Amino acid sequence: MIVARIGIDLGGTKIEGVALNRRGAVLQRVRLPTPRDDYDSIVSTVCGLVRKLADGAKHPSIGVGTPGVWIPDRKVMKNCNSTWLNGRSLKTDIEAQLEVQIGIANDADCFALAESQQGAARGASLVFGVILGAGVGGGIVVSGELLRGASGLAGEWGHTPLPYFRSDPTMPTWLAEKEQSLRDRACYCGRPNCVETFLSGPGLARTHLELHGVSQSTEQIAANAGKAPEETMQLYCSMLARSLAQIVNVIDPEVIVLGGGVSNAEVVL
Q: Where are the domains of the chain?
A: 5-101, 122-264
pLDDT tens for each residue of the chain, 269 residues long: 689 999 999 987 889 999 999 998 999 999 999 999 999 999 999 999 999 999 888 889 999 999 999 999 999 999 998 999 999 999 999 999 999 999 999 999 999 999 999 999 999 999 999 999 999 999 999 999 999 998 889 999 999 999 999 999 999 999 999 999 999 999 999 999 999 999 999 999 999 999 999 999 988 887 776 665 578 999 999 999 999 999 999 999 999 999 998 998 888 86
- CATH for 5-101, among 3.20.20.70, 3.30.420.40, 3.40.50.150, 3.40.710.10? 3.30.420.40
Sort residue 155 into left (φ over 0), alpha (ψ -120 to 50) or beta: left
Cite the beta strand spans of 122-220 per DSSP E. 126-132, 136-142, 145-147
* Euclidean distance between CA atoms 74 and 241, whole angstroms: 36
What are the φ/ψ torsions at residue 78 (nearest 5 degrees)?
A: -145, 150
Residue in 102, 86, 105 with CA at minimum distance from that of residue 94: 102
pLDDT at 225: 66
**What pTM was estimated for this model as a whole?**
0.91
User: CATH topology of 5-101 equal to that of 122-264?
Assistant: yes
- CATH for 122-264, among 3.40.50.1970, 3.30.420.40, 3.40.50.720, 3.40.50.300? 3.30.420.40
- Give 22's Cβ-side CA count (13 Å radius): 4
- Give 123's Cβ-side CA count (13 Å radius): 1
pLDDT at 108: 95
